[in-house]
Structure 1
Amino acid sequence: MKSLGSIRRSFAPWNDSSAKPYISFKNVTKRFGDFTAVDDLSLDIYNREFFALLGASGCGKSTLLRMLAGFETPTSGQIILDGQDLSQTPPYRRPVNMMFQSYALFPHMTVEKNIGFGLKQDGMPKDQIAYRVAQMLKLVKLEKFASRKPHQLSGGQRQRVALARSLAKQPKVLLLDEPLGALDKKLREETQFELMDLQQDLGLTFVVVTHDQEEAMTMADRIAVMSAGKVVQVATPAEIYEAPNSRFVADFIGDVNIFDGNVVSSEGGKTQIAVSEDLTIVAEQNGSGPASGAAAFAIRPEKVRIAREAPANPGFNAVKGEIWDIGYLGDMTIYIVKLASGQTVRASRLNASRELENPIGYDEEVWVSFDDNAGVVLKD
């Protein structure tokens, strides 16, 4: 599949047929009584990949991470790490370490003792512990805070202590369970880039669990979108956003407009969908949509145009509506347009200039339009 959008780096072993996965979940199922948390799931993660498990609460993502860490045992299936079946390996002997959302720092210990705790438990000599702890403090830029207790630190600093402690034992894989959930928005955004840089510098494999779409889109090389214990789609952030493989993924990731209709024709690389009396959509075929019958067309708000004047060719991909609501967000303005059919369409405009003269206002009649390659036709 052709990659969509900008690429963070050339690193893409999943596109190399000769590359071997570093972590493999093979037909893994986990049941708790009558409840199936993970359902016959297979998934490959590659060495040095920053991989995100994304989904709503209860989708099975944290259970999957806990099975990799050894805190839960699969009901069936295999988990392979670097060629080794982990089924008989206890948590403390696995080459992984886990960082929890709560950070789980010892309140009575200083920063340096928190970081060195696992090394001390492993029986590492004191001089080596001191050297490793100093390395970790430098790595997370907390050298001046070595003697402080957790309650004397900010949320972001505690997060970095927990990260340093997780990295001190030099695991092959770092597991992060909602690692930034306790931080405020601005600090969370800053820390996302810090984690990305750190992962690049260390050359480790990071697997992060999150329900935050922006967090996954920002940090991950690839994302596995999960629902009801299954992986619905695995792809790069750009592919997940621009080419969702189902209605669920399109609706779950970001904002989206979805038009339901029936396929009129599908030929010449174009699919024509009758949505309502006043709207017919012509879209580029993308390989995932049906050739006949019911179909859905998904398009992101930033790809929808609104204007007072009718487009040059109003017969397709254009429909008249009324401004129903407006949201000014500073960097952009969101317009909610109500169509004659009763459906609302969300359009976003980047506020590229400070011009405020004659803006589109409430109750105005406008045209909504888009290009034939701006959205994607979905199977379901």
Structure 2
Amino acid sequence: MAKTLGPVKRKFSPWDDPAEKPFIEFQNVTKRFGDFTAVENLSLKIYEKEFFSLLGPSGCGKTTLMRMLAGFEDPTEGSILLQGKDISGTPPYKRPTNMMFQSYALFPHMTVEKNIAFGLEQDNLPKADIKARVDEMLALVKLETFAKRKPAQLSGGQRQRVALARSLAKRPKVLLLDEPLGALDRKLREETQFELMDIQTTLGLTFLIVTHDQEEAMTVSDRIAVMDRGEIVQVATPAEIYEAPNTRYVADFIGDINLVEGKLAAIETKGESEFCSVVCEGGMKAVVEQSTACPAAPGADVTFAIRPEKVRISTEEPADKTANALYGEVWDIAYLGDFSVFIVRMDNGQTFRAAQANAARLVDRPITFGDMVWLTWPPEAALVLTR
């Protein structure tokens, strides 16, 4: 089995071990609502203590998949296994899972501590045990001083943490999070993402999160499943999803990327690498270095792909203009604080994006609107995609 490419968040990659058994497994699961198929013959393995994301646009089936795991929906076909046991047909309250909803669903008339204690009281736990568990959860989410307040007296971020504490209080084996940070502003959302990661690591639980936010999935996940129209397109670590997408859809959905249609002209082997020569629309030519076998044969239709941050932009003419060099005019600039994106227009009307980190605090940039610039990139920075 191929080992994980790129960095992982921690020394944790059970999916690379053939002997490791999945904690959660979807086996050929299909879910239909009348004539509409929300999930189509989907198989997926999730491992214990993994922070796993289901990522995709609205309507791709990710929430349906989570609801089937929670027990709120039953599969039309296929099986769902938890620790090797089929849980299809098991009611939600008998499953060792808990779900945190996007709306938080807090009881407005109850205090923070009462909200957290609610599920424990329903299970008839001793009062002393309930108090100890509530105190533990309040400390975990850093809300000890807010125990007597009601939800209306809290900020959005504090309500989110109360909902998280209530979901964790029953110590589920799997915590399901349905767009849990969608109601928070950007800065608070980023802070909460790291809090979620710390809590998940501290408790050693399996977290499954549904999100359409690419940055959120890239930040919190050990692995990501990118979904489209009820199917999983790719399952991989954040680094693999970004650096080695397996389709044009994944490449375009995650981050920003230049995609140019073309034909594979030739393949040359040098050492352990294959160099793919691509002739693109508009006459552009590019050479791509592949560490694995080129995915197509000469003459095949392919897509040339490269991330903007891997494209160098300069007003100086490169020494070698024969490979991976374009010349054009700066047509637009997006200043995003930590980096700037330059949209460069070629003579044939084609546009290309290059991103440059704003490493220095400059008032006047050396490259601006209307400048004629050269774009270059090394062969190993690009990809050849066939679908």
TM-score between both structures, scaled by the size of structure 2: 0.96
Shift of 1:312: 1.4
Which of 265, 277, 282 aligns to 2:287? It is 282
Which amino acid in the other structure matches residue 328 of structure 2?
G
1:137–1:146 Cα contact (<8 Å) kept: yes
| Equivalent position SS for 1:342 | coil
1:260–1:294 Cα contact (<8 Å) kept: yes
Which amino acid in the other structure matches residue 329 of structure 2?
E
Shift of 1:193: 0.2
- 1:318-364 per-residue CA deviation (whole Å, 9 max, x = no partner) reads 11111000111221111000122322111110011124456111111
Which of 369, 376, 382 aligns to 1:375? It is 382
| Pairing 1:104–2:109 present | no
| Pairing 1:171–2:178 present | no
Identity of aligned residues (%): 63
CA distance in 2, matches of 1:159, 1:276: 49
Counterparts of residues 289-304 of structure 1 (less than 5 Å) = 289-292=295-298, 293-304=300-311
CA distance in 2, matches of 1:215, 1:124: 36
Which of 262, 272, 276 aligns to 1:271? It is 276
Shift of 1:136: 0.6
| Equivalent position SS for 1:196 | helix
CA RMSD of aligned residues (A): 1.2
Counterparts of residues 228-377 of structure 1 (less than 5 Å) = 228-268=229-269, 269-276=274-281, 278-285=283-290, 286-287=292-293, 289-292=295-298, 293-356=300-363, 359-377=366-384
Q: Gaps spanning 5+ residues in structure 2: where? A: none
1:279–1:316 Cα contact (<8 Å) kept: no
Greater CA deviation, 348-357 or 248-257?
A: 348-357
| Equivalent position SS for 2:168 | helix
CA distance in 1, matches of 2:38, 2:383: 31
CA distance in 1, matches of 2:380, 2:264: 17
Shift of 1:108: 0.4
- 1:19-65 per-residue CA deviation (whole Å, 9 max, x = no partner) reads 00000000000000000000000000000000000000000000000
Which amino acid in the other structure matches residue 381 of structure 2?
A
Structure 1 residues 46 and 262: CA distance shift in structure 2, 3 A: same
Counterparts of residues 70-85 of structure 1 (less than 5 Å) = 70-85=71-86
CA distance in 2, matches of 1:184, 1:264: 48
Greater CA deviation, 119-128 or 194-203?
A: 119-128
Counterparts of residues 2-151 of structure 1 (less than 5 Å) = 2-151=3-152
Structure 1 residues 202 and 170: CA distance shift in structure 2, 3 A: same
Greater CA deviation, 16-25 or 334-343?
A: 334-343
| Equivalent position SS for 2:380 | coil
1:245–1:288 Cα contact (<8 Å) kept: no
CA distance in 2, matches of 1:4, 1:185: 29
Q: Gaps spanning 5+ residues in structure 1: where? A: none
CA distance in 1, matches of 2:367, 2:55: 37
| Equivalent position SS for 2:136 | helix
Greater CA deviation, 292-301 or 208-217?
A: 292-301
Shift of 1:5: 3.1
CA distance in 2, matches of 1:43, 1:266: 35
CA distance in 1, matches of 2:61, 2:256: 23
| Equivalent position SS for 1:333 | strand
- 1:141-187 per-residue CA deviation (whole Å, 9 max, x = no partner) reads 11111110000000000000000000000000000000000000000
2:276–2:294 Cα contact (<8 Å) kept: no
Shift of 1:2: 4.7
CA distance in 1, matches of 2:236, 2:212: 16
Shift of 1:3: 3.5
TM-score between both structures, scaled by the size of structure 1: 0.98
2:340–2:357 Cα contact (<8 Å) kept: yes
Which amino acid in the other structure matches residue 96 of structure 1?
T
CA distance in 2, matches of 1:145, 1:29: 44
CA distance in 1, matches of 2:123, 2:106: 18
Greater CA deviation, 335-344 or 216-225?
A: 335-344
2:245–2:251 Cα contact (<8 Å) kept: yes
